[in-house]
Structure 1
């Protein structure tokens, strides 16, 4: 296993960052009337997963704080699922793009839950 020196070395961070960038690119095509609603919300929640992971990594010596920030990540990833549901229902994304991103966030959620259940493994 490679040494984890910063939050950027975490596979979950890398996956969340790539997914957030995919959402950014995809949301560029959303209608202009969605700019301050769906577009803004899906970008914020997807990016927040990454930001909260960075904070969690810095708090890993304190298990309760670490788990709390990871729980925030989990909530933001779940929120991103909801915004993806809306994007599909409004026909702003294809079913293929929706399923790809939804699965990516399922994987991210799984990794976050594993970290939450075993916080002691991350006190490097």
Structure 2
């Protein structure tokens, strides 16, 4: 792997979780295609994109800013998961697995952000 961000565990996990969410969102009804489906897919892709973009910046304030964007996108994905569960688009088991995965990613990302102070 040639880019610095490709070695980051938070980037790797964000990439994996994005694929899982994309697969999960295919279960959403067609009428959600331009609403919740689009929103959750854009938010989940934004996590890894911002981690990558922030990793190439040399100043800590800028790195923190992009990691902050990733953290906010994680919160957005979790909120979309809650909506999907409430609307019965996903099962309780699917929700719990995804919720726990994103909680882990949130903790990892916050920890990484604090480490680069």
> What TM-score, normalized to structure 2?
0.95
In 2, Cα distance between the equivalents of 1:111 and 1:27?
Answer: 24
- Stretches of structure 2 lacking an aligned partner (at least 5 in a row): none
Aligned residue in 2 for 1:80: 77
DSSP-derived class of the 2:66 partner: helix
Q: After the TM superposition, list the runs of 4 or more consecutive aligned residues in structure 1 that deviate by more than 6 angstroms.
A: none
Is this contact kept in 2: 1:16–1:50, CA < 8 A? yes
Corresponding residue for residue 104 of structure 2: 107
For residue 85 of structure 1, report the CA deviation from its aligned partner. Answer: 0.3
Aligned length: 117
What do residues 64-87 of structure 1 show as CA deviations (whole Å, max 9, x unaligned)?
A: 000010000000001100000000
In angstroms, what is the RMSD of aligned CA positions?
A: 1.5
**Distance in 2 (alpha carbons) for counterparts of 1:95 and 1:14:** 26
